[in-house]
Amino acid sequence: MGVASGLRRHIEPCPLFFDRADGAYFFDADGHRLLDYTLGWGPLILGNNHPAINAAIERQLTRGYAYGAQHWGEIELAERMVRVLPGVERVVFSNTGTEAVQVALRLARAYTQRTKIIKFEGHYHGWLNNVLVSYRLKPGDPCGPLPACGGQPPSEFAETLVLPWNDLPAVDETFRQFPGQIAAVLTEPILANGGSCLPDDGYLRGLVETCRTHGAVSIFDEVITGFRIALGGAREFFGVGPDLSVYGKALAAGFTLSAVGGKAALFEVLQDGRTIHAGTYNGNPISLAAARATIDALAAPGVFDELEAHGSAVRAALEAEASRRGVPLLTTGCGSVFSAHFGLLRAPRNYRETLRADMQRYGRFRLAMLRRGVHLLPDGRWYVGAAHGEAELAAVRAAIGPALAEVAA
């Protein structure tokens, strides 16, 4: 099949092979230089070949690849995370977002001694059976835990309840239906995997408060939003503090690292041995060196303002050029991660509302952009990073108009 992740399998015209990458550019095996707005599906917040990250890794390379034991690098990263993530008092490290989501659920279940979890339609929390449900739906599908692929035994998602997003009464009602049984509510704070829908005003705060009222743990899956929409992720951006947050992707800017952070009380179940979190590569010193350099680079003044400005300028160009050609197109999300939707007349509030978008036209647009040297994800999502500067903005603007003209008919 030739792809390392099933989600890369059906990419048109064919899954591209890359030879190398530098800054905001990927170079494919045929020698094309592509301006990249995929950022490797999100992690490359600083682009490729970043001098500070390279230097940090080179330093670590001579000091050891893996210890399988505690080291200063863990403490130095944990201290940085606690400093920049509002309300985060403790952190533990894992490797992928998929794993760290499971760590958060394990902590929540051990802490509450309950088993059920709530997740929402269209939200992606990794590829394991208990959360890979109701991820990609068809319009008539019922609301309930539907497996996303073969090989998912129903027993493995029997404790997962699925609800529509941005609907607080549905959450409250479910807590009343299953009193004392729900351990956690798991949500992406911006529905980046399902059309970059934004939470309604007060929704995230309401979710956290509803969890508190019913003795459950609130978990923000910040694998995309963390270290991207603000240095403090959704906690800072929305001013809301859940019990736990899950980090990955941009945390180590392209190196394999994930983490769970949150209230100290939740981590006591690990400290006193009520539960276990394990992994040969947990706290890998190379990835941790990359993460420390990433946070230091992201903490420089103005970084997030520039990300926001660049993304807003690209969104404005997309909407203006589309409107000039009579093509219905709108964008949702924020500057550093947003989605473009053909055919929608108002911003979708949840995953079901994104299903009305014309993805075939988006597919044609994506290919038209690729022919003009701009590399985009197939699902309408755009990632903006610090390597996107003025030259890249000019290049992407120059491609957008003609690409839209091609798909206007």
Ligand X SMILES: Cc1ncc(COP(=O)(O)O)c(C=O)c1O
Which sequence positions are flagged as catalytic? 124, 221, 249
Kindly indicate which of the ranges 108-116, 123-131, 168-176, 317-325 contains the residues binding ligand X, using the contact rule CB under 6 A: 123-131
Cα distance between residue 402 and residue 385, in whole Å? 24
Cα distance between residue 330 and residue 376, in whole Å? 17
Site for ligand X in 11-50 (CB under 6 A): 41
CA-nearest of 182, 170, 164, 241 to 208 is 241
188 binds ligand X (CB under 6 A): yes
Kindly indicate which of the ranges 121-129, 147-155, 317-325, 345-353 contains the residues binding ligand X, using the contact rule CB under 6 A: 121-129
Kindly indicate which of the ranges 216-224, 286-294, 352-360, 361-369 contains the residues binding ligand X, using the contact rule CB under 6 A: 216-224
Count of residues in contact with ligand X, rule CB under 6 A: 14
Nearer to ligand X, 361 or 375 (CB): 375
3-class secondary structure, 265: helix
Site for ligand X in 320-379 (CB under 6 A): none
Question: CB of residue 217 vs ligand X: minimum separation in angstroms?
Answer: 17
Contact 247, 259 (CB under 8 A): yes
Residue nearest ligand X by beta-carbon distance = 97
Kind plus residue range of the DSSP H or E element containing 393: helix 390-407
189 binds ligand X (CB under 6 A): no
Question: Per DSSP, what are the bridge partners of residue 2?
Answer: none
DSSP 88: -
Find the Cα–Cα–Cα–Cα dihedral 25, 28, 33, 38, rounded to 10°. -40
Question: Per DSSP, what are the bridge partners of residue 18?
Answer: 28
Kindly indicate which of the ranges 69-77, 81-89, 91-99, 265-273 contains the residues binding ligand X, using the contact rule CB under 6 A: 91-99
Contact 227, 295 (CB under 8 A): yes
* Of 98, 102, 284, 350, the one binding ligand X by CB under 6 A: 98
Contact 388, 358 (CB under 8 A): no
Question: CB of residue 111 vs ligand X: minimum separation in angstroms?
Answer: 21
184 binds ligand X (CB under 6 A): no
Cα distance between residue 63 and residue 293, in whole Å? 16
* Of 223, 252, 253, 330, the one binding ligand X by CB under 6 A: 223
Cα distance between residue 394 and residue 310, in whole Å? 11
* Of 101, 286, 298, 407, the one binding ligand X by CB under 6 A: 101
Q: Which amino acid is it at 149?
A: C
Nearer to ligand X, 279 or 328 (CB): 279
Nearer to ligand X, 97 or 311 (CB): 97
Nearer to ligand X, 248 or 380 (CB): 248
* Of 73, 145, 232, 248, the one binding ligand X by CB under 6 A: 248
Question: CB of residue 322 vs ligand X: minimum separation in angstroms?
Answer: 27
124 binds ligand X (CB under 6 A): yes
Question: CB of residue 230 vs ligand X: minimum separation in angstroms?
Answer: 16
* Of 97, 232, 261, 262, the one binding ligand X by CB under 6 A: 97
What order of strands is seen across the sheet that includes strand 116-120? 90-94, 258-262, 244-247, 217-221, 182-187, 116-120, 160-163
193 binds ligand X (CB under 6 A): yes
121 binds ligand X (CB under 6 A): no
125 binds ligand X (CB under 6 A): yes
Report how far apart, in Å, the C-alpha atoms of 218 and of each of 73, 151, 368 are.
29, 29, 42
Render 173-233 in DSSP notation, one character per residue: HHHHHSTTTEEEEEE-SSBGGGT-BPPPTTHHHHHHHHHHHTT-EEEEE-TTTTTTTSTTH
Question: CB of residue 248 vs ligand X: minimum separation in angstroms?
Answer: 5
Task: Name the site residues for ligand X (rule: CB under 6 A).
Answer: 41, 96-98, 101, 124-126, 188, 193, 221, 223-224, 248
